[in-house]
A and B are shown apart, each in its own frame.
Chain A
Amino acid sequence: MADGSGFSPAPAAAKDVLFGFTLAQLLAFGLMVAFVVISPFILYPVFLMNVLCFALFACAFNLLIGYLGLLSFGHAAFFGMGGYICGHLAKVLGLPPELAIIAGGLVAAALGAGMGWLAIRRTGIYFAMVTLALAQMVYFFCLQAPFTHGEDGIQSIPRGKLLGFFDLSNDFTLYWLVAGIFLAGFLMIHRIVHSPFGQVMKAIRENEPRAISLGYRADDYKLIAFILSAGLAGVAGATKSIVFGIATLNDVHWNMSGEVVLMTLLGGLGTVFGPVVGAAVIITMQNYLAEFGAWVTVMQGGIFVICVLAFRRGIIGEIANFLRVRL
């Protein structure tokens, strides 16, 4: 992303107010938290949990594309693998949900370390294609490995009891756990981006040779970011498998990788809140347009095209640009 044309320009007078947030971001964050808290009383909690899982997934993906300029077309591998590991541990070994989710995240991060090690040798489209091909290998693996149960997937994963105490089979209790995981992940990403580490990431995005000449080992930064992003994607996938009680091949398929790109693009690449909004819009579409059948694919393609042609900043990027703030 040498040109960075999709990124909203940062207004000069944006001061950090709290925890690395500008005032506008703080307001937006407050709005988001309020929405997260109020919505389950109005909307269907399982649907919302799905949105939150994908929102976290998209945020994790955005860490790479938005702040390093690396477009991964293989993030489904981490999302799906996190789900499989979590589901397997919770169902077969009877691990409590919190440990299973953490384990899912860790395995995904380890997988990310392997894939990242190969992929960061290239940038731009090569990076995208390499991650796509590697993710395809993960897909083949998941199809064959006995513990994933092939195309049936891992079914009826128990929701279990959080910390051995809170019964998660209640949708509301589970909702608060998912909301907590999402907010923690969101803040963690925000923290990473606003740390010195994040500054170097952005420096690499803007001008890699210069960052290297300043003494930063660009490859190390890329790899660490890749691992973090993979781990968080894994946590998102693991959480999703607990919510639905299933972990299946779809989450590893490259369509899923394409979907997360779409979510982030629609919300706004490199914005803090964009991926969340993008995920919400796409998941809502999938759910409420399910009766339109094949036209959903066409609509998704259409959104892709419209976003790229007319609307590159994405929803949040456009709003931010209109209000002249950074979101």
Chain B
Amino acid sequence: MVLGLVNGAFYALLSLGLAVIFGMLNVVNFSHGALFMMGAFVAWMLLNWLGIGYWWALLLSPLIVGTFGVLLERLMISRLYKLGHLYGMLLTFGLGLIIEGVFRNEFGSSGLPYSPPPEFRALTVDFGFMILPGYRAWVVLASLIVCLATWVVIEKTRLGSYLRAATERAELVQAFGINVPRMITLTYGGGVALAAFAGVLAAPIYSVNPNMGSNFIITVFAVVVIGGMGSILGSVVTGFALGMIEGFARVVYPEASATVVFVIMAVVLLTRPAGLFGRA
């Protein structure tokens, strides 16, 4: 169950990014999985090509991928805001295919090694009945901090209030002299950076390969549907909760642990169509 928190941490980070992007841009970012993967790969490239270690990668990789996201938004996604959000989804789906395909051509598909930073080796706790590697504790902690920080930025700061206002009435906020398009661009970059951050966190745990994103993304979509689209708090709480439920199912009835998320989604849809935290 505690171990489920690790997966929960990734769900939370990814669905948070999706929720932020959706709230602001009205786009379901289908390339989120690919960008998550890219985050992990950039960390690998930093280490192997430039000799930059884990800690700097944790900072640099989200910046690099975030900048890439900003470019994507400026060059492509921004052209679609006037259209239905289905087009945004199709566009990002296509982008995801391209990114995955390019990485597969470049790096093959069996994956690349990336070791956890040596600092954590000493931190592993052995409870006798189970081992808790220090790195996993760090993943949960880091993800909690980042989620909390994002929440504070959006709910408590001036910038966040602009953001929320722009989500509701973009024209009005524009009229107050705030550059809404730039804010949108930065939001997309931010959401993408969250995905990349999750990617770097994941690199030492999962094998770094071009398919690592698509393994996650469908579950994350279900998480987002359960939590309610666009709800920041909802996506974080649901992310962690589902990770734990999944972890619990692994112990009790492992065969069902992959489907449990989808079953919950179906139940939620029947009872609360807008999602647990969503407004109808």
A interface residues with partner B (beta carbon < 8 Å)? 1-3, 5-6, 71, 118, 121-122, 124-126, 128-130, 132-134, 136-137, 140, 254, 258, 261, 265, 293-298, 300-305, 307-309, 312
Smallest beta-carbon distance A91→chain B, Å: 27
A-B contact sample (6 more), CB < 8 A, given A130-B225, A294-B104, A303-B94 = A125-B28, A296-B101, A297-B98, A301-B95, A305-B98, A312-B83
Complex: A125 Cα to B263 Cα, angstroms: 19
The list of the 4 closest CB pairs from A to B, nearest first, reads: A304-B94, A301-B97, A298-B101, A301-B98
Smallest beta-carbon distance A106→chain B, Å: 23
Q: Binding site of B, secondary structure by majority: helix, strand, loop or mixed?
A: helix
Complex: A140 Cα to B256 Cα, angstroms: 10
A305-B94 CB under 8 A given contacts A121-B273, A133-B221, A298-B101: yes
Does the CB pair A129–B28 fall under 8 Å?
Answer: yes
A-B contact count (CB 8 A): 119
Smallest beta-carbon distance B260→chain A, Å: 11
A297-B101 CB under 8 A given contacts A5-B83, A71-B86, A140-B259: yes
Complex: A1 Cα to B218 Cα, angstroms: 23
Does the CB pair B90–A308 fall under 8 Å?
Answer: yes
23 contacts between A and B (CB under 8 A): A2-B84, A6-B87, A71-B89, A118-B266, A121-B273, A124-B86, A129-B28, A132-B218, A133-B265, A134-B262, A136-B218, A137-B259, A140-B259, A254-B218, A265-B90, A301-B99, A303-B94, A304-B91, A304-B93, A307-B90, A308-B80, A309-B91, A312-B87
Complex: A303 Cα to B87 Cα, angstroms: 13
Complex: A6 Cα to B259 Cα, angstroms: 36
Q: Which residues of B contact A121 (CB under 8 A)?
A: 269-270, 273
B222: CB under 8 A from chain A? yes
Which of A126, A133, A258, A294 has a CB less than 8 Å from the CB of B101? A294
Does the CB pair A305–B76 fall under 8 Å?
Answer: yes
B145: CB under 8 A from chain A? no
B interface residues with partner A (beta carbon < 8 Å)? 28, 76, 79-80, 82-87, 89-91, 93-102, 104-105, 218, 221-222, 224-225, 229, 258-259, 262-263, 265-266, 269-270, 273
Q: Which residues of A contact B85 (CB under 8 A)?
A: 124-125
Q: Binding site of A, secondary structure by majority: helix, strand, loop or mixed?
A: helix
Complex: A175 Cα to B2 Cα, angstroms: 57
Q: Which residues of A contact B265 (CB under 8 A)?
A: 130, 133
Which of B84, B94, B99, B269 has a CB less than 8 Å from the CB of A130? B269
Does the CB pair A125–B101 fall under 8 Å?
Answer: no
